Amino acid sequence: MSAQTAGVLVWEAVVGDKSQPLGYRFFLSEAASLRVRGGARVRQFLDAMLVSHVATISPAWRSHRQIFLRLDADALDPVALATLGGDGVHLILDSDARGEPASDACIAAVTQLRAAGFRVWLLACDSAPWLASLAPQASGFAISLGGQSVDGMEQFVAGLKTTYPGVPWCALDVPTVDDLALPHRLGCAAITGPFVSERAPNLGGRFSPNGLRVASLLSKLRQGAEIREMAGVLKQDVALSYRLLRYVNAAAWGLVNPISSIEQAMLMLGRRPLYRWLMLLLLAGAPKGTLSEVRGEATLVRARFMELLGASLSVPQRDELFVLGMLSLLDTVLQVPATRVLDTLPMSDTIRAALAGTEADNPYGPYLVLARAWDSGDTAAIHAACERIGLTPEDAGRLHLQAFDWVLENGK
Query: Does residue 96 share a domain with residue 189?
Result: yes
Q: For residue 32, is it within any domain?
A: yes
> Rounded CA gap, 149 and 353, in Å?
42
Q: Are residues 248 and 309 in the same domain?
A: no
Q: Is residue 255 part of a domain?
A: yes
Domain's final residue, options 197, 219, 245: 197
pLDDT at 331: 85
Q: What is the pLDDT of residues 51-109, one digit of tens each?
A: 999 999 888 787 789 999 999 999 999 999 999 988 999 999 999 888 999 999 999 99
What pLDDT is attached to residue 61? 81
Residue 151 lies in a domain: yes
Residue 203 lies in a domain: no
State whether 260 and 193 are in the same domain.
Answer: no
pLDDT for the residue numbered 287: 67
Q: What is the CATH number of the domain that holds 76?
A: 3.20.20.450
How far is residue 290 from each of residues 10, 368, 408, measured CA to CA in Å? 22, 26, 19
Q: Are residues 65 and 156 in the same domain?
A: yes
Q: Looking at the domain assignment, is residue 202 inside a domain? A: no
Q: Which ranges constitute the DSSP H helices of 165-289?
A: 181-185, 209-222, 227-234, 238-248, 262-269, 271-284
CB 212 within 8 A of CB 334: no
Which DSSP letter does residue 73 get? G
* Residues 162, 46 within the same domain: yes
Q: What is the pLDDT of residue 51?
A: 95
Tell me how far apart the alpha carbons of residues 157 and 170 are, in angstroms, rounded to a whole number.
Answer: 11
Any domain includes 4? no
Angle subtended at Cα 107 by Cα 106 and Cα 113, rounded to the nearest 5 degrees: 90
Containing domain of residue 36, as a range? 9-197
Q: Based on the fold, state whether residues 134 and 231 are members of the same structural domain.
A: no
pLDDT at 249 (0 to 100) = 78
Q: Specify the 3-state DSSP secondary structure of 21.
A: strand
pLDDT in tens, 147-169: 777 888 899 999 999 999 999 99
CB-based contacts of 159: which residues, under 8 Å, 6+ apart? 127
Q: What is the DSSP secondary structure assignment for residue 221, as one 8-state letter?
A: H
**What does the pLDDT read at residue 205?**
64
Asked whether residue 278 falls in the same domain as residue 294, the answer is no
Element (H, E) at 26: strand 21-28
295 domain residue, yes or no: yes
Which pLDDT belongs to residue 197? 80
Residues 250 and 184 placed together within one structural domain of the fold: no
Based on the fold, state whether residues 248 and 354 are members of the same structural domain.
no
Q: Does residue 1 fall inside a structural domain?
A: no
**pLDDT of res. 64:** 83
Are 310 and 277 within one domain? no
Given 246, 265, 284, the domain boundary residue is 284
Ramachandran area for residue 72 (φ above 0: left; ψ -120 to 50: alpha; else beta): beta
Strand, helix or coil for residue 143: strand
- Rounded Cα distance between 163 and 124, Å, is 13
Please give the pLDDT value at position 97. 86
pTM over cut 0.95: no
Residue that terminates a domain, selected from 144, 173, 197: 197
Q: How high is the pLDDT of residue 4? A: 63
For strands 119-123 and 190-192, give the pairing.
unpaired
- 58 plus 144 within the same structural domain: yes
In 3-state terms, what secondary structure has residue 2?
coil
Per-residue pLDDT 10s for the chain (412 aa) are 555 677 899 999 999 998 889 999 999 988 777 776 667 888 899 999 999 999 998 887 877 899 999 999 999 999 999 999 889 999 999 998 889 999 999 999 999 999 999 999 999 988 789 999 999 999 999 999 977 778 888 999 999 999 999 999 999 999 988 888 999 999 999 999 998 887 765 556 667 777 778 888 888 887 788 888 888 888 877 778 888 888 887 755 666 778 888 888 888 888 888 888 888 888 777 766 668 888 889 999 999 999 999 999 998 899 899 999 999 998 888 878 888 888 888 888 999 999 988 777 899 999 999 999 999 999 999 999 999 999 999 999 999 999 999 888 876 5
* H or E segment and range at residue 172: strand 169-172
Which residues, 6 or more positions from 373, have their beta carbon under 8 angstroms from its beta carbon?
A: 381, 382, 385
Residues 51 and 78 in one domain: yes
Q: How many domains, in total, are found in the chain?
A: 3
Classified as helix, coil or strand, 11 is strand
Distance, in Å, from the CA atom of 202 to the CA atom of 184, rounded to the nearest integer, reads 24
